[in-house]
Amino acid sequence: MSTETQNVPVSPEDSQLAEIFKTEANEAFKKQDFNSAIDLYTKAIEKNPNVAIYYSNRSFAYIKTECFGYALADASKSIELDKSYIKGYYRRATAHMSLGKFKEALKDCEYVTKVRPNDKDARMKYSECNKIVKKMAFEKAIAVDDNKKCIADSINLDAMTIEDEYIGPKLEDNKITLQFMKDLMKFYENQGKLHRKYAYMILLDIKTYFMKQPSLIDIPIGDDDKFTICGDIHGQFYDLMNIFDLNGLPSETNPYLFNGDFVDRGSFSVECIFTLFGFKLLYPNHFFMSRGNHESATMNQMYGFDGEVKAKYTAQMAELFTEVYNWLPLAHCLNKRVLVMHGGLFSRDDVTLDEIRQLERNRQPPEDGPMCELLWSDPQPQPGRAASKRGVGCQFGPDVTRAFLELNGLDYVVRSHEVKDDGYEVAHDGKCITVFSAPNYCDTMGNLGAFINLKGKDMIPKFTTYMAEPHPDVKPMAYANALSSFLC
User: Residue 282: how many CB atoms within 10 A of its CB?
Assistant: 18
* Rounded Cα gap, residues 141 and 67, in angstroms: 32
User: In sequence order, which residues have a C-beta less than 8 Å from that of residue 349 and are 6 or more positions away?
Assistant: 400, 403, 404, 407
Report d(CA 419, CA 261) in Å as an integer: 12
Q: Are strands 338-341 and 412-415 parallel, antiparallel or unpaired?
A: parallel
Q: b/e map of 63-96 (b: 16 or more CB within 10 Å)?
A: bbbbbbbbbbbbbbbbbebbeebbbbbbbbbbbb
Sequence-separated (6 or more) residues with CB below 8 Å from residue 29: 37, 57, 60, 61
Q: How many CA atoms lie within 13 A of 174 on its CB side?
A: 8
Distance CA 125, CA 21 (A): 31
Among 390, 439, 63, residue whose Cα is nearest residue 233:
439
Annotated catalytic residues are 294
Distance CA 145, CA 204 (A): 23
Which value, to the nearest 10 degrees, does the dihedral of the CA atoms of residues 417, 421, 423, 425 take?
-70
CA torsion 484-232-299-208 (nearest 10°) is 140
Instruction: State the number of CA atoms in the 13 A half-sphere of 127 facing the CB.
Output: 9
292 and 375 Cβ atoms separated by less than 8 Å? yes
What DSSP line would sit under 268-314, residue for residue?
THHHHHHHHHHHHHHSTTTEEE---TTSSHHHHHHHSHHHHHHHHS-
> Which letter, b or e, does each residue of 197-222 get, where b requires 16 or more Cβ atoms within 10 Å of its Cβ?
bbbbbbbbbbbeebeeeebbbebebe
Q: Which among 313, 344, 319, 311 has a CA at the least distance from the CA of 330? A: 344
Q: Phi/psi class of residue 336: alpha, beta or left (left: φ > 0; alpha: ψ in -120 to 50)?
A: left
Backbone phi and psi for residue 421, each to the nearest 5 degrees, phi listed first: -55, -40
